[in-house]
Structure 1
Amino acid sequence: MVVGATRQSRFLFYVWQILLTAALQGPIKPDPGSQLGGDPWPEWSRSAESLASSEIEQECRQSVDSFLRRAESSLQSPLGSRHPNPRDMLFFLHVPRTAGRTFFACFLKQATPPSKRCAKSYDILRLNVSVEGCGLLSSHDDYSVTAVLPPTATVITQIRDPVDRVLSAYEFAVEVASRHLQVPLGVRTPRPPGKPRVDTRNVWPWSLLVPWMEADMRMRAAKLRSTRDGALKENNTSRREFVRLRGHAGGWAYYHSLASGASKEELSQGDVLLPNLDPYNNPLAMPLREFIEHPIVASTIHNGAALQVLGLTNYSHHRDAAKLRGCVAEVPSVREAMVRVAVQRLQGMYHVGVTDRLQESITSAAGSLGINLTGPAWRGKADAAFEYGDESVAEAEAPTRSDGPYSQLIHLQNQTDAILKELSRKQKELEQLRQSSYNSGSANAVSACFSLRALPASA
């Protein structure tokens, strides 16, 4: 596998950061993935193992046929068929690791007045369609969320080469998890007042991947520390072993001894320079191959963009999402049908950008959405921005959105909002009618007055 030198250099910084903080943590015995939540797919998968291929296909038929019928019906009048206007909603379906944050925060948000931005919805979907200002929404929710959006909502998205997206997901999971290794387990960092942030660990799919990766890193750090301590007791040569490091911001290179904790700008005679680590296969973090083959990654990253466009992720609002994903995995004919639906949905979206051609994608989207790239950009409080930062350690939330009180609450909220919006419109019409009647009545009264004055006195 060939990876660019710049990418390797940036990623190696986080890998070495794990080494530098490994000695700070006490030994623990975490259970990666034990508190990560998720939908019923593993249970359905295990039950499907005992069925023959024909039985699995029969088991899937009803759910798949129902899904395909609804998909075909929606494609006949696709969302996004209308040009967006200030009263419509623009939904950016943010596929993770596709430069979506740049596309949204640096382009869409800057082109939208703060009063027209919806509330932050990366950690939890927040909708209030009765508020006319909610015109721009962005989140990691999949296509199933369109069921609770206004009928005139316009959907756009950004896609990326699947291999690059998987590599980026691995690197990002390692990066965020390594930052949390510097904080003792169970300690929460207070957030600065007046600076609300969305914690990456509460954002799907990182709500699953980061705690799991962090737990794995802590185990590896404990093992590395034990091995190092044993070596130090036997000999002191490891104190003369150095690794070459460079600051994340592109600072000067220096040398660091993991055994002694000493750092220096130049090596001395007798010092040993250790070879560079392979950023994707080393004892400090889970190797890329192991990451790719793990069930948590299979359920969140594998075919992630396609499942997000289909609305069948393990973060879906669709009640049968888990079962349908199982059918996609087990039945080739279902897989082929779902690919066709995904392609048709992409074709029906108002705009689809490509990460590898980000600048052209932004220019194209601006043309499609009627955004003037040479005009002024809006500033203001970043109410709808999604920021990665020094997140506090928080409990991971269960990612499932499938047919539960949460989904029912969204439906109820949006039904209420729709009624309130219609009531507001009727009230405006009534006020206009009253004003019109008042003006008409006043005009008639004035006319009658002049008519009376024109009559002869004898009358």
Structure 2
Amino acid sequence: MTSRVLTKSRAVSTLDIWPWKYLVPWMREDLFARRDARGNDSVPSSKKINAYDVEDMVMPLHQYINDPVAHEIIHNGATFQITGLTNNSYFDGAHEVRHCVRKYPDLGRFVLQVAKNRLDRMLYIGLTEDHEESARLFAHMVGAQVLSQSGALKLDVQEDQPSGTDSHLSMLDPEDEETNEHMNSTHGWKNNEALNTTEDDHGKGNVIHLPEL
């Protein structure tokens, strides 16, 4: 019983969310008005010839989209929402700005530019009405892109980076290589000769005296 109460307390009513807090009462009132009008109609709806003509039940689309309520809330609603200019805004001048844009449509490009700038600064845009699900989808997509780009970058670096031996040899001309080999062999012969001489001296009991500092 307690869990049910807690669950209900966390629920959010549709009537608390823009734009449904305005659209639902409007459409509900219209539906009830058409229902009452059908009760006074002498011709039942089931006997009408055109089954798609349900104007006596619901508002036609052309009437819906041209209604002042739709103009106030739905037309460019997303743009006004991002810019904080809806009829649910805390901004005192929101109504005046909306009215001005509707009266002078050319000015709408300035509102649109503000909305684009705000979108560019947003961390992410929710893809669904569930914030947690939207954040999860966003993290999944961005994470996949980051891993893909990181792997491609690492592969490019490995392909472009030559090995130490190859880079050293590539810097030497053929003549330099021969000179290098000769110097290495000469130094190796001298080192071996010095080593043998030292061993012979030690074998004969000779002592090497170093000058005093």
Matched-pair contact (CA < 8 Å) for 2:124–2:138: yes
Determine which of 123, 145, 154 is the counterpart of 1:350. 123
SS in 2 for 1:352: coil
Residue pairs, 1:161-240, within 5 angstroms: 193-194=5-6, 195-196=8-9, 197-227=11-41, 230-231=42-43
**Aligned-partner SS, 1:335:** helix
Matched, 1:326 2:140: no
Which residue in 2 is equivalent to 1:277? 52
TM-score, normalising length: structure 1: 0.26
- Counterpart in 1 of 2:81? 308
**SS of 2:125's equivalent?**
strand
**1:206 CA displacement:** 1.8
Q: What SS class does the counterpart of residue 221 from structure 1 fall into?
A: helix
TM-superposed CA distance for 1:303, in Å, is 0.3
The whole-number CA distance in structure 2 between the counterparts of 1:321 and 1:209 is 19
Q: In the TM superposition, what is the alpha-carbon distance from 1:351 to its structure 2 partner?
A: 1.8
From 76, 97, 112, give the equivalent of 1:339: 112
Q: Give me the identity figure in percent.
A: 34
Structure 1 letter corresponding to 2:13: D
In 2, distance between residues paired with 1:211 and 1:286?
Answer: 14
Which structure carries more helix by proportion? 2
Query: What is the identity, as a one-letter code, of the residue corresponding to 2:20?
Result: W
Provide the C-alpha distance between the structure 2 equivalents of 1:316 and 1:309, rounded to a whole number of angstroms: 10
User: How far off is 1:307 after superposition?
Assistant: 0.6
Residue 198 of structure 1 aligns to a residue whose secondary structure is coil
Counterpart amino acid of residue 320 in structure 1: G
Using the TM superposition, give the Cα deviation of residue 273 of structure 1 relative to its aligned residue in structure 2, in angstroms. Answer: 10
TM-superposed deviation, 1:362 = 6.6
Provide the TM-score with structure 2 as the length reference: 0.52
Contact 1:200 1:206 in 2 (8 A): yes
Q: 1:283 to 1:365 in 2, by over 3 A?
A: same
Equivalent-residue separation in structure 1 for 2:74 and 2:56 (angstroms): 23
Query: What SS class does the counterpart of residue 40 from structure 2 fall into?
Result: helix
Contact 2:19/2:73 (CA < 8 Å) preserved in 1?
yes
Largest Rg, 1 or 2: 2
Q: Is the 8 A contact 2:37 2:56 kept in 1?
A: no
Across the aligned residues of Structure 1 and Structure 2, the Cα RMSD in angstroms comes to 3.3
Query: C-alpha displacement at 1:370, in angstroms?
Result: 6.5
Using CA pairs under 8 Å that are at least 6 residues apart, name the structure with larger relative contact order, 1 or 2. 1
How far apart are residue 282 of structure 1 and its match? 2.5
8 Å contact from structure 2 (residues 34, 57) kept in 1: yes
Aligned residue runs from structure 1 range 366-381, under 5 A: 366-367=139-140
What does residue range 37-436 of structure 1 map to in structure 2 within 5 Å?
193-194=5-6, 195-196=8-9, 197-227=11-41, 230-231=42-43, 276-277=51-52, 282-352=55-125, 365-367=138-140
Distance change in 2, residues 1:223/1:301 (3 Å):
same
Q: CA deviation at 1:221?
A: 0.8
User: Aligned in 2, Cα 1:300/1:226: closer, same or farther, shift over 3 Å?
Assistant: same
Distance 1:368 1:348, change over 3 A: farther
Does the CA contact (< 8 Å) of 1:351 and 1:368 recur in 2?
A: no
**1:291, CA displacement in angstroms?**
1.2
Question: 1:326-362: CA deviations, max 9, x gaps?
Answer: 222233453222211111211221123557xxxxx77
1:364 and 1:312 mapped to 2: Cα distance? 28
